[in-house]
Amino acid sequence: MAKHITVLGSLNLDIHIPLEHMPVQGETIALSKASSQAAGGKGANQAVAAQRLGAQVHFIGATGADAAGEMLRDKCKAEGIDIDMVKVLRNANTGEAFIVLEPDGHNTIMVEGGANKQVSKLAVREATEQIKNTDILIAQLETNVEPIVEAFKIAKAAGVLTILNPAPASTDLPAELWPLVDVVTPNETEAWRLTGHKAENRADYDAVAAAFAKKGVKNTIITLGEKGVYYNVAGQSDVVKAHKVEHPVDTTAAGDTFIGAMAAQLEPDLSNLTAAIQFANAASSLTVQRAGAMDSIPMKAEVGTVLD
Known binding positions for substrate: 12-14, 41-45, 142, 256
Residue type, position 153, single letter: K
Cβ atoms of 160 and 134 within 8 Å: the answer is yes
Sign for the CA dihedral angle at 149, 154, 158, 163 comes to negative
Q: How many C-alpha atoms does 223 have within 13 Å on its Cβ side?
A: 26
- From the list 69, 48, 70, 67, the residue with the least C-alpha distance to 59 is 48
Report the C-alpha gap between 218 and 210 in whole angstroms: 9
Contacts with 24 (C-beta within 8 Å, 6 or more apart), sequence order: none
How many Cβ atoms sit within 10 Å of the Cβ of residue 175? 8
Binding residues for K(+): 250, 252, 287, 290, 292, 296
Whether 276 and 229 have beta carbons less than 8 Å apart is answered as no
Tell me how far apart the alpha carbons of residues 97 and 11 are, in angstroms, rounded to a whole number: 10
Give me the active site residues, please. 256
8 Å CB contact between 3 and 136 = yes
